[in-house]
Protein backbone atom coordinates (compact mmCIF):
# COMPACT_ATOMS: atom_id res chain seq x y z
CA UNK A 1 0.00 0.00 0.00
CA UNK A 2 2.87 2.37 0.80
CA UNK A 3 4.44 1.72 -2.62
CA UNK A 4 1.14 2.56 -4.34
CA UNK A 5 0.88 5.73 -2.26
CA UNK A 6 4.47 6.59 -3.14
CA UNK A 7 3.72 6.22 -6.87
CA UNK A 8 0.58 8.36 -6.58
CA UNK A 9 2.52 11.03 -4.69
CA UNK A 10 5.20 11.11 -7.38
CA UNK A 11 2.45 11.49 -10.00
CA UNK A 12 0.89 14.28 -7.94
CA UNK A 13 4.21 16.16 -7.81
CA UNK A 14 4.49 15.81 -11.58
CA UNK A 15 0.91 17.05 -12.11
CA UNK A 16 1.55 19.93 -9.70
CA UNK A 17 4.57 20.91 -11.78
CA UNK A 18 2.41 20.70 -14.91
CA UNK A 19 -0.14 23.02 -13.28
CA UNK A 20 2.66 25.45 -12.56
CA UNK A 21 4.22 25.19 -16.02
CA UNK A 22 0.91 25.75 -17.82
CA UNK A 23 -0.13 28.63 -15.58
CA UNK A 24 -3.22 26.76 -14.41
CA UNK A 25 -2.84 27.58 -10.71
CA UNK A 26 -5.92 29.80 -10.80
CA UNK A 27 -7.85 27.60 -13.23
CA UNK A 28 -10.14 27.17 -10.23
CA UNK A 29 -9.92 30.57 -8.51
CA UNK A 30 -11.67 29.47 -5.32
CA UNK A 31 -11.26 26.58 -2.89
CA UNK A 32 -12.56 23.96 -2.11
CA UNK A 33 -15.09 24.69 -4.87
CA UNK A 34 -14.20 25.53 -8.46
CA UNK A 35 -15.82 28.71 -9.78
CA UNK A 36 -18.37 28.36 -7.00
CA UNK A 37 -19.35 24.81 -8.06
CA UNK A 38 -18.55 21.41 -6.60
CA UNK A 39 -18.23 20.03 -10.15
CA UNK A 40 -16.21 22.19 -12.57
CA UNK A 41 -18.45 24.18 -14.93
CA UNK A 42 -17.76 24.01 -18.65
CA UNK A 43 -19.35 27.39 -19.35
CA UNK A 44 -19.70 30.69 -17.50
CA UNK A 45 -23.49 30.36 -17.56
CA UNK A 46 -23.23 27.95 -14.63
CA UNK A 47 -21.03 30.31 -12.59
CA UNK A 48 -22.26 32.76 -9.96
CA UNK A 49 -19.82 35.49 -11.00
CA UNK A 50 -20.71 38.00 -8.24
CA UNK A 51 -20.00 35.38 -5.54
CA UNK A 52 -16.68 34.36 -7.09
CA UNK A 53 -15.76 38.01 -7.63
CA UNK A 54 -16.43 38.77 -3.97
CA UNK A 55 -13.98 36.06 -2.96
CA UNK A 56 -11.37 37.44 -5.36
CA UNK A 57 -11.73 40.97 -4.05
CA UNK A 58 -10.28 39.97 -0.68
CA UNK A 59 -6.86 40.11 -2.36
CA UNK A 60 -7.66 42.08 -5.53
CA UNK A 61 -10.14 44.83 -4.62
CA UNK A 62 -9.92 46.49 -8.05
CA UNK A 63 -10.76 43.37 -10.03
CA UNK A 64 -13.81 43.74 -12.28
CA UNK A 65 -16.26 41.16 -13.54
CA UNK A 66 -14.80 41.54 -17.03
CA UNK A 67 -11.35 40.65 -15.64
CA UNK A 68 -12.83 37.57 -14.04
CA UNK A 69 -14.52 36.50 -17.26
CA UNK A 70 -11.19 36.84 -19.09
CA UNK A 71 -9.64 34.49 -16.51
CA UNK A 72 -12.08 31.65 -17.28
CA UNK A 73 -10.28 28.95 -19.25
CA UNK A 74 -11.79 25.41 -19.39
CA UNK A 75 -8.39 23.80 -20.11
CA UNK A 76 -6.70 25.44 -17.11
CA UNK A 77 -9.80 24.71 -15.05
CA UNK A 78 -9.61 20.96 -15.65
CA UNK A 79 -5.83 20.78 -15.22
CA UNK A 80 -6.14 22.37 -11.78
CA UNK A 81 -9.21 20.32 -10.84
CA UNK A 82 -7.53 17.03 -11.80
CA UNK A 83 -4.61 18.08 -9.62
CA UNK A 84 -7.04 18.49 -6.72
CA UNK A 85 -8.73 15.14 -7.39
CA UNK A 86 -5.36 13.38 -7.44
CA UNK A 87 -4.48 15.11 -4.16
CA UNK A 88 -7.66 13.71 -2.60
CA UNK A 89 -6.77 10.23 -3.92
CA UNK A 90 -3.31 10.49 -2.33
CA UNK A 91 -4.93 11.55 0.94
CA UNK A 92 -7.18 8.46 0.97
CA UNK A 93 -4.24 6.21 0.03
CA UNK A 94 -2.21 7.52 2.98
CA UNK A 95 -5.23 7.06 5.25
CA UNK A 96 -5.45 3.41 4.16
CA UNK A 97 -1.70 2.99 4.76
CA UNK A 98 -2.21 4.41 8.26
CA UNK A 99 -5.06 1.97 8.94
CA UNK A 100 -2.94 -0.97 7.73
CA UNK A 101 -0.10 0.16 9.99
CA UNK A 102 -2.26 -0.06 13.12
CA UNK A 103 -1.40 -3.75 13.44
CA UNK A 104 2.30 -2.85 13.54
CA UNK A 105 2.11 -0.52 16.54
CA UNK A 106 3.80 -3.06 18.84
CA UNK A 107 6.19 -4.94 16.54
CA UNK A 108 7.28 -2.07 14.29
CA UNK A 109 6.06 1.10 15.98
CA UNK A 110 8.17 3.45 13.85
CA UNK A 111 6.21 2.39 10.75
CA UNK A 112 2.97 3.36 12.46
CA UNK A 113 4.45 6.66 13.62
CA UNK A 114 5.76 7.36 10.12
CA UNK A 115 2.37 6.60 8.55
CA UNK A 116 0.69 8.85 11.09
CA UNK A 117 3.20 11.62 10.34
CA UNK A 118 2.52 11.18 6.60
CA UNK A 119 -1.22 11.47 7.25
CA UNK A 120 -0.73 14.70 9.22
CA UNK A 121 1.59 16.05 6.52
CA UNK A 122 -0.83 15.31 3.67
CA UNK A 123 -3.65 16.94 5.65
CA UNK A 124 -1.47 20.02 6.15
CA UNK A 125 -0.57 19.93 2.46
CA UNK A 126 -4.24 19.89 1.48
CA UNK A 127 -4.92 22.88 3.72
CA UNK A 128 -1.86 24.66 2.35
CA UNK A 129 -3.09 24.08 -1.20
CA UNK A 130 -6.27 25.92 -0.29
CA UNK A 131 -4.23 28.78 1.17
CA UNK A 132 -2.20 28.98 -2.06
CA UNK A 133 -5.40 29.39 -4.09
CA UNK A 134 -7.04 31.82 -1.66
CA UNK A 135 -3.87 33.94 -1.56
CA UNK A 136 -4.03 34.03 -5.37
CA UNK A 137 -0.61 32.35 -5.72
CA UNK A 138 1.14 34.58 -3.23
CA UNK A 139 4.96 34.36 -3.58
CA UNK A 140 6.49 32.10 -0.95
CA UNK A 141 3.35 30.00 -0.43
CA UNK A 142 3.96 28.04 -3.66
CA UNK A 143 7.54 27.31 -2.58
CA UNK A 144 6.34 26.10 0.81
CA UNK A 145 3.74 23.92 -0.92
CA UNK A 146 6.47 22.33 -3.06
CA UNK A 147 8.82 21.78 -0.11
CA UNK A 148 6.06 20.00 1.85
CA UNK A 149 5.33 17.77 -1.16
CA UNK A 150 8.98 16.75 -1.39
CA UNK A 151 9.14 16.13 2.38
CA UNK A 152 6.06 13.89 2.10
CA UNK A 153 7.62 12.02 -0.82
CA UNK A 154 10.86 11.40 1.13
CA UNK A 155 8.90 10.18 4.15
CA UNK A 156 6.96 7.73 1.98
CA UNK A 157 10.24 6.44 0.47
CA UNK A 158 11.51 5.72 4.01
CA UNK A 159 8.26 3.94 4.87
CA UNK A 160 8.38 1.87 1.67
CA UNK A 161 11.94 0.82 2.43
CA UNK A 162 11.04 -0.09 6.01
CA UNK A 163 7.89 -1.99 5.07
CA UNK A 164 9.41 -3.97 2.18
CA UNK A 165 10.55 -7.52 2.89
CA UNK A 166 12.59 -7.66 -0.34
CA UNK A 167 14.58 -4.47 0.02
CA UNK A 168 18.31 -5.22 -0.29
CA UNK A 169 20.46 -4.96 2.80
CA UNK A 170 23.35 -2.56 2.23
CA UNK A 171 26.34 -2.88 4.51
CA UNK A 172 29.42 -0.70 4.78
CA UNK A 173 32.67 -1.05 6.65
CA UNK A 174 32.37 0.86 9.92
CA UNK A 175 35.20 3.18 8.88
CA UNK A 176 33.01 4.64 6.15
CA UNK A 177 29.77 5.10 8.12
CA UNK A 178 30.52 8.66 9.15
CA UNK A 179 31.73 9.70 5.69
CA UNK A 180 28.65 8.32 3.97
CA UNK A 181 26.33 9.82 6.59
CA UNK A 182 27.93 13.24 6.17
CA UNK A 183 27.76 13.00 2.39
CA UNK A 184 24.06 12.06 2.42
CA UNK A 185 23.26 14.84 4.89
CA UNK A 186 25.04 17.58 2.96
CA UNK A 187 23.78 16.33 -0.40
CA UNK A 188 20.19 16.36 0.88
CA UNK A 189 20.69 19.83 2.38
CA UNK A 190 22.20 21.28 -0.79
CA UNK A 191 19.51 19.66 -2.94
CA UNK A 192 16.77 21.11 -0.75
CA UNK A 193 18.30 24.58 -1.03
CA UNK A 194 18.53 24.18 -4.80
CA UNK A 195 14.85 23.21 -5.02
CA UNK A 196 13.84 26.27 -3.00
CA UNK A 197 16.03 28.52 -5.17
CA UNK A 198 14.47 27.03 -8.29
CA UNK A 199 10.94 27.65 -6.99
CA UNK A 200 11.81 31.23 -6.09
CA UNK A 201 13.34 31.76 -9.53
CA UNK A 202 10.06 30.65 -11.04
CA UNK A 203 8.19 33.08 -8.76
CA UNK A 204 10.49 35.90 -9.88
CA UNK A 205 9.76 35.05 -13.54
CA UNK A 206 6.03 35.05 -12.83
CA UNK A 207 6.31 38.49 -11.23
CA UNK A 208 8.26 39.81 -14.21
CA UNK A 209 5.68 38.46 -16.66
CA UNK A 210 2.91 40.00 -14.58
CA UNK A 211 4.60 43.42 -14.66
CA UNK A 212 5.55 43.15 -18.35
CA UNK A 213 2.81 41.00 -19.96
CA UNK A 214 4.09 41.69 -23.49
CA UNK A 215 7.63 40.57 -22.62
CA UNK A 216 8.98 37.92 -25.06
CA UNK A 217 9.54 34.52 -23.48
CA UNK A 218 13.23 34.67 -24.42
CA UNK A 219 13.67 37.64 -22.05
CA UNK A 220 11.86 36.24 -19.02
CA UNK A 221 15.03 35.01 -17.33
CA UNK A 222 16.78 38.37 -17.72
CA UNK A 223 13.89 40.19 -16.06
CA UNK A 224 13.79 37.76 -13.12
CA UNK A 225 16.71 39.54 -11.45
CA UNK A 226 19.54 37.83 -9.59
CA UNK A 227 17.53 34.79 -8.47
CA UNK A 228 18.30 32.84 -11.65
CA UNK A 229 22.02 33.62 -11.39
CA UNK A 230 22.10 32.39 -7.79
CA UNK A 231 20.13 29.28 -8.79
CA UNK A 232 22.52 28.55 -11.68
CA UNK A 233 25.65 29.12 -9.58
CA UNK A 234 24.34 26.92 -6.80
CA UNK A 235 23.71 24.14 -9.33
CA UNK A 236 27.40 24.20 -10.25
CA UNK A 237 28.28 24.09 -6.55
CA UNK A 238 26.14 20.99 -6.17
CA UNK A 239 27.82 19.33 -9.15
CA UNK A 240 31.27 20.21 -7.79
CA UNK A 241 30.38 18.82 -4.35
CA UNK A 242 29.29 15.49 -5.83
CA UNK A 243 32.31 15.22 -8.12
CA UNK A 244 34.80 15.90 -5.32
CA UNK A 245 33.32 13.42 -2.85
CA UNK A 246 35.35 10.21 -2.90
CA UNK A 247 33.57 8.03 -0.37
CA UNK A 248 34.78 4.62 -1.50
CA UNK A 249 37.30 3.24 -3.92
CA UNK A 250 36.19 1.01 -6.80
CA UNK A 251 36.43 -2.34 -4.99
CA UNK A 252 34.64 -1.09 -1.90
CA UNK A 253 31.94 0.58 -3.97
CA UNK A 254 31.40 -2.63 -5.97
CA UNK A 255 31.13 -4.72 -2.79
CA UNK A 256 28.68 -2.24 -1.26
CA UNK A 257 26.43 -2.16 -4.34
CA UNK A 258 26.52 -5.94 -4.97
CA UNK A 259 23.21 -6.61 -3.13
CA UNK A 260 21.45 -4.23 -5.52
CA UNK A 261 22.37 -6.45 -8.46
CA UNK A 262 20.42 -9.37 -7.00
CA UNK A 263 17.53 -7.05 -6.18
Using DSSP's 3-state secondary structure scheme, residue 160 falls into helix
Distance CA 99, CA 218 (A): 50
Residue 262 has what pLDDT?
45
Rounded to whole angstroms, how far apart are CA atoms 178 and 180? 6
Share of the chain above pLDDT 70, in %: 76
Structurally, how many domains does the chain consist of? 2
Where among 148, 167, 186 does a domain terminate?
167
Q: Are residues 189 and 209 in the same domain?
A: yes
Half-sphere exposure of 229 (CA within 13 A, CB side): 5
Whether residue 118 is found in the same domain as residue 198: no
- Enclosing domain of residue 203: 171-263
Over residues 16-38, the pLDDT tens digits come to 878 877 877 778 877 778 888 88
122, 139, 167 - which closes a domain: 167
Residues 87, 129: contact at Cβ < 8 Å? Answer: yes
38/149 same-domain check: yes
Regarding whether 6 and 129 lie in a shared domain, the answer is yes
Give every CB contact of residue 172 below 8 A, 6+ residues apart in sequence: 180, 256
- In tens, the pLDDT along 62-114 reads 677 777 777 788 888 888 888 888 888 888 888 888 888 888 777 778 888 88
Q: Are both 29 and 146 inside the same structural domain? A: yes
In this structure, are 87 and 202 located in the same domain? no
In this prediction the pTM is: 0.65
Which of residues 167, 194, 219 is at a domain's end? 167
Identify whether residues 148 and 61 lie together within a single domain: yes
Amino acid sequence: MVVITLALTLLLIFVGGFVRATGSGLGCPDWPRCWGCWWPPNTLEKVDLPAVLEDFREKHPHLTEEDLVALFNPVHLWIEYLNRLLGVLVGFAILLALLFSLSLRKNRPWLFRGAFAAFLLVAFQGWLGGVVVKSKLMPGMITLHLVCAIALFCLLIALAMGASQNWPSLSLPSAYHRRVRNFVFFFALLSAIQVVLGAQTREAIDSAVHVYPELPRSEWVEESGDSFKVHRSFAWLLVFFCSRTGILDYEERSAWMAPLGAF
